[in-house]
Amino acid sequence: MDEKIKQKLENQQYRIVGNHSAVKICNWTKKSLIDNGECYKSKFYSIPTHRCCQMTPSMFCPNKCQFCWRSIEHFNAVKLSKSDEPKDIVDGCIEGQRHLLNGFPGNTEINMEKFKEAQEPTNFAISLSGEPTIYSKLDGLIEELNKRKKFSFLVTNGQFPERLEKLESLPTQLYVSLDAPTKELYQKIDRPSLKDFWERFNKTLELLPTLDTRKVLRLTAVKGLNMTKVEEYAKLIEKANVDWIEIKAYMWVGESRNRLKEENMPTHNDIQEFSKQIAEKIEMDIIDEQKESRVCLLAEKDSRERFL
């Protein structure tokens, strides 16, 4: 990684692990440690917010999504020149998380019991930045987490279906980002570098029914950009046959403020209405929501308790 980029990321409170991985404390983890709220994943999937490690085994990505809040000038890589070992990445991320937590006991509002538990994360959100499936030893990383009895939530943009197809160790939960209902909108919003991006994405959707794990499509809704063409979304969702759909508002934060405007950020009412439109087309219900995160969770009717 370029030293200037590395320094910029570290100034933004990332901790770089090895040659291509990173960890960072999520804002919801910070809130949880002072008993000031919990991430929607806690409400939806029973994940303890203060024990979640937000990390990635690849700081690189073939897409440059308009709504991405990260620094993306180092994106567009499609492979790593050197792949670190899974054990080293997991150990390095836990160590980096602990280092980032060091100053929290100085806050008089800190919940010390949570702080002590946070030293040993139980869930790894493989979604911090970049595209995790670029990492060639992803299967070994998930296997390492499974051996340590850690939950793993893997998020992918679906550009490398062959990597998912070869996984022998599956994550606890697999997310695929559904950012656009058509090829034209995907190109405009995600700004992919791979020429066959739409074919790759659809192959990933077609692969999902064969993977024996919990599966989610996550739609980041950007007002004025992708909250349209509900019927086209429905066709893609039906192809994927997942357990849940998360429809979450784009938030006007970080580097995305250089690409989008504040009015591109939907209200929770906007998300509710859009979720209802999607739900009606795919015969699902809105089974949960969290106003603070502007997110709704959709699932098949009468399946609220599935997997939970």
265 with 249: CB under 8 angstroms?
A: yes
The range of the structural domain enclosing residue 176 comes to 3-300
Asked if the structure places residue 227 within a domain, the reply is yes
Asked if the structure places residue 185 within a domain, the reply is yes
Q: List pLDDT tens digits, range 62-72.
A: 999 999 987 77
Helix, strand, coil % over all residues of the chain, rounded to 5: 40, 20, 40
pLDDT at site 74: 60
Q: How many CB atoms lie within 10 A of CB 39?
A: 24
pLDDT at site 6: 84
- The answer on pLDDT for 303 being more than 90 is no
DSSP assignment, residue 200?
Answer: H
- Can you list the alpha helix ranges (DSSP code H) found in the chain? 3-11, 27-33, 40-45, 86-101, 112-118, 138-147, 161-165, 183-190, 197-207, 230-240, 268-282
Cα separation, 221 vs 269, in Å, equals: 12
pLDDT at site 261: 96
pLDDT at site 3: 81
CATH number, domain with residue 126: 3.20.20.70
- The answer on pLDDT for 22 being more than 80 is yes
- The answer on pLDDT for 56 being more than 80 is yes
Domain count, the chain: 1
Extract the tokens encoding 138: 């992803």
pLDDT at site 305: 57
Asked if the structure places residue 305 within a domain, the reply is no
Q: How many CB atoms lie within 10 A of CB 243?
A: 17
Asked if the structure places residue 306 within a domain, the reply is no
Q: List pLDDT tens digits, range 205-226.
A: 999 999 999 999 999 999 999 9
152 with 123: CB under 8 angstroms?
A: yes
The amino acid occupying position 243 is D
Q: List pLDDT tens digits, range 75-89.
A: 566 677 789 999 999
Q: List pLDDT tens digits, range 287-299.
A: 999 999 999 999 9
Given the DSSP bridges, would you call strands 244-249 and 284-290 parallel, antiparallel or unpaired?
unpaired
What does pLDDT average to over the chain? 93
pLDDT at site 82: 82
Go through the chain and tell me how many residues it has: 308
pLDDT at site 70: 79
Extract the tokens encoding 175: 């997310």
pLDDT at site 76: 61
pLDDT at site 73: 67
Average pLDDT over residues 176-196: 97
3-state DSSP call for residue 87?
Answer: helix
Give, in order, the Cα–Cα distances in Å from 51 to each of 1, 42, 106, 158: 28, 11, 19, 27
Q: How many CB atoms lie within 10 A of CB 183?
A: 14
- The answer on pLDDT for 21 being more than 80 is yes
